[in-house]
Amino acid sequence: MRVYMPIRLPLERTYYPASRDEPEQLLCWIPPHELEALIKAGRAPARLRDEHPLGLELEVSAHALSQAGIELPAPADSLKAAYLKLRNERRLPASGYVQATYLEQGTRDNHAPLITAAADMIAEPEGVLPSGLAPEPAMSAGEEPDAAMRRLARLAEE
Amino acid sequence: MPIPCTDLLRIFILNVGQADTSVIVTPAGNVVLIDVVNARKVAGLLQSLGLLDGECISCLVITHPHSDHYSGAGAIVSKHPPRHVLLASPTHCTGTPGYHALINKVEEMRVLPMFVAGCTTIQPDGGFPERTGPVFRILGPTENMIQRLAEAKAVTPNHLSLITKMNFGEFVMVSAGDAQMENWAYFDQEGLMPGSCDLVKAAHHGSRHGTQCERLERLNPKFCVVSSDPNGRHKLPDLIGAATFHVHANSRCSAVLTCDSGTVEVRVGKAGTCTAVHYSEAADSEILFATEQPLLAVSNLTDWKALVRRRLDEP
């Protein structure tokens, strides 16, 4: 009998790049319970509950946020700039997953200019992020994606 | 059988903006989904076709781990459990939490997802000679090909993209996901690309990396559908892509952008003869069968020349 072993997922809102080859494209993961809270707070349309029962993943861009009808605590460009600043300062955890509340606090109060910026990441972060490695979100129990996919590929071969 | 049997194979290439979704209904009423975005629209279509909540789909193919190809799949598999799930090889890129949540859901349903490297064949209507249903060949890049591209620092998640080649009688369809020129070349070398075909779902939303002019010339399709919205953030089709379709549409076939045509449906009879219609609905609207219009062999639904000019004028 095959044992079901899920892939670990962030349990809270999280920012990360689309892939290691696409660092300029920032995504946001909103787990189902946080999506529900956003809907109840009127910051997300109710249709998203049915359309994304497993959680919502969306690109952090003004266009994508407006299409989804989602309101994040900070503007898309500021979030991208804050994430890029962490990357430039080598303060990202190996997974690339950054706890949303941490990144969002880095978009307020600070006006330090961003020296290096990709073409579509020109906004300056406006807040001060505490020093050190950016914190990862709390994660569910389960396997790392690499291990899970190797296991599934092995099972399919058998 | 949830969806009534007919003599027709029905292929719907949905207008979901700059994203991909195809729904294929076989003559025996089985459903194959290739990428799923906009769950509301897909659920509405499946319901209109006669598939009730809880009834299974035959196969779900997710071409690669980019959310404009799977973001609606979680909702659909929750309503319509898939019997088979085919995914891109996890070599080089294992995806993001949205993709992982989908894999978790599928595994929780006791369906073992299969990562395609090479060629996998599925025959939803069965493989007996007396049941000559459609044959789907799902082509995925091998680990070696991805490794070679990675060594050349030329790999992106689009390179993982699965290409679906489907035969039904004499009819041939190629649905290219976000395949890049290296993917096409690889399957050419392996002898797995058809000499010509009737329908192409163009690669990578009509980008210059996905659809080259010579590829279209070689495949020489009657219908070519580009699933994109040129006003989207990635501005696809780009200049070269738009010029490619302009050249091809003028001389040979009906090439349309889904944002202009709405959803395109191609109906294929058992002899392999096909006709196409389109529904003109917006990306965020449901398909209304009453709005059906024929898609002509030479269509002017998309003004490719105007798009080329617009791209030339852009900074």
| Confidence (pLDDT) at B132 | 79
CA A54, CA A43: separation in Å to the nearest integer? Answer: 18
Q: Locate the chain A residue with the closest alpha carbon to B233.
A: A63
Q: Which residues of B touch A18 (CB under 8 A)?
A: 66-67, 96, 157
Q: DSSP assignment, residue A94?
A: T
**Whether residue B250 has pLDDT greater than 80:** no
| Confidence (pLDDT) at A12 | 97
Least confident of A138-142, B77-81, B229-233: B229-233
Segment B93-118, tens digit of pLDDT: 999 999 999 999 999 999 999 999 99
The alpha-carbon gap from A116 to the nearest alpha carbon of chain B, in Å, equals 22
Q: Do B104 and A7 touch (CB under 8 A)?
A: yes
Element (H, E) at A15: strand A14-17
| Confidence (pLDDT) at A147 | 95
How far is the CA of B132 from the CAs of B81, B123, B124, B135, in angstroms? 25, 9, 11, 9
Task: Report yes or no: B98 and B70 within 8 Å, Cβ to Cβ.
Answer: yes
**Residue, of B1 and A59, whose pLDDT is higher:** A59
CA A92, CA A105: separation in Å to the nearest integer? Answer: 16
The alpha-carbon gap from A87 to the nearest alpha carbon of chain B, in Å, equals 18
Q: Which residues of A touch B60 (CB under 8 A)?
A: none
Query: Phi/psi at B68 (nearest 5 deg)?
Result: -75, 10
For residues B237-252, give the mean pLDDT: 89
Cα B98 to chain centroid distance, Å, stands at 20
Q: Do A152 and B94 touch (CB under 8 A)?
A: no
**Whether residue B15 has pLDDT greater than 70:** yes
| Confidence (pLDDT) at A119 | 38
CA A14, CA A11: separation in Å to the nearest integer? Answer: 9
| Confidence (pLDDT) at A124 | 46
Q: Locate the chain B residue with the closest alpha carbon to A16.
A: B96
Segment A28-84, tens digit of pLDDT: 999 999 999 999 999 999 999 999 999 999 999 999 999 999 999 999 999 999 999
Q: Locate the chain B residue with the closest alpha carbon to A49.
A: B75
| Confidence (pLDDT) at B128 | 65
**Whether residue B130 has pLDDT greater than 60:** no
Banded pLDDT at B126 (limits 50, 70, 90): confident
Instruction: Convert B43-66 to b/e letters by CB count within 10 Å (16 or more is b).
Output: bebbeebebeeeeebbbbbbbbbb
**Which residue in B100, B102, B110 has the most chain A C-beta atoms within 10 A of its own C-beta, making it the best mutation to test that interface?**
B100
Q: Do B101 and A149 touch (CB under 8 A)?
A: no
**Residue, of A75 and B315, whose pLDDT is higher:** A75
| Confidence (pLDDT) at A118 | 39
Segment B176-201, tens digit of pLDDT: 999 999 999 999 999 999 889 999 99
Q: Tell me the percentage of chain B whose pLDDT exceeds 90.
A: 86
User: Phi-psi bin for B153: left (phi > 0), alpha (psi -120 to 50), beta?
Assistant: left
For residues B51-71, give the mean pLDDT: 97
CA B4, CA B197: separation in Å to the nearest integer? Answer: 28
**Mean pLDDT (chain B, rounded):** 94
Name the strands in the sheet holding A56-59, side by side, starting at the edge strand that comes first in the sequence: A56-59, A26-30, A14-17, A98-99
The alpha-carbon gap from A7 to the nearest alpha carbon of chain B, in Å, equals 6
Q: Which residues of A touch B66 (CB under 8 A)?
A: 18
Q: Which residues of A touch B74 (CB under 8 A)?
A: 52-55
**Which residue in B84, B87, B104 has the most chain A C-beta atoms within 10 A of its own C-beta, making it the best mutation to test that interface?**
B104
Which residues of chain A approach chain B closer than 8 Å at the C-beta? 2, 4-10, 14, 16, 18-22, 27, 29, 47, 50-59, 61, 63-64, 67, 142, 145-146, 148-150, 152-153, 155-156
Retrieve residue B280's tokens.
């003109």
Q: Do A58 and B102 touch (CB under 8 A)?
A: no
Q: Do A52 and B75 touch (CB under 8 A)?
A: yes
Q: Do B107 and A6 touch (CB under 8 A)?
A: yes
For residues B120-124, give the mean pLDDT: 95
Cα B244 to chain centroid distance, Å, stands at 19
CA B58, CA B44: separation in Å to the nearest integer? Answer: 18
Q: In the beta sheet, which residues pair with residue B137?
A: B121, B165
The alpha-carbon gap from A73 to the nearest alpha carbon of chain B, in Å, equals 21
| Confidence (pLDDT) at B232 | 87
For residues B170-179, give the mean pLDDT: 96
**Whether residue B23 has pLDDT greater than 60:** yes
**Whether residue B14 has pLDDT greater than 70:** yes
Altogether, the residues listed in chain A come to a count of 158
Q: Do A21 and B90 touch (CB under 8 A)?
A: no
Banded pLDDT at B270 (limits 50, 70, 90): confident
In one letter, which amino acid is B145? Answer: M
For residues B130-146, give the mean pLDDT: 89
**Residue, of A24 and B101, whose pLDDT is higher:** B101
Q: Which residues of A touch B113 (CB under 8 A)?
A: 152, 156
Q: Do A57 and B94 touch (CB under 8 A)?
A: no
**Whether residue B123 has pLDDT greater than 70:** yes
Q: Tell me the percentage of chain B whose pLDDT exceeds 70.
A: 97
Q: DSSP assignment, residue B237?
A: S
Task: Report yes or no: B254 and B297 within 8 Å, Cβ to Cβ.
Answer: yes
Q: Which of A10, A19, A67 sits opposite B97 (nearest CB)?
A: A10
For residues B43-52, give the mean pLDDT: 97
Task: Report yes or no: A78 and A111 within 8 Å, Cβ to Cβ.
Answer: no
User: Phi-psi bin for B220: left (phi > 0), alpha (psi -120 to 50), beta?
Assistant: left
Segment A100-134, tens digit of pLDDT: 999 998 886 443 333 333 334 444 445 666 778 99
Task: Report yes or no: A146 and A102 within 8 Å, Cβ to Cβ.
Answer: no
Q: Which residues of B touch A5 (CB under 8 A)?
A: 107
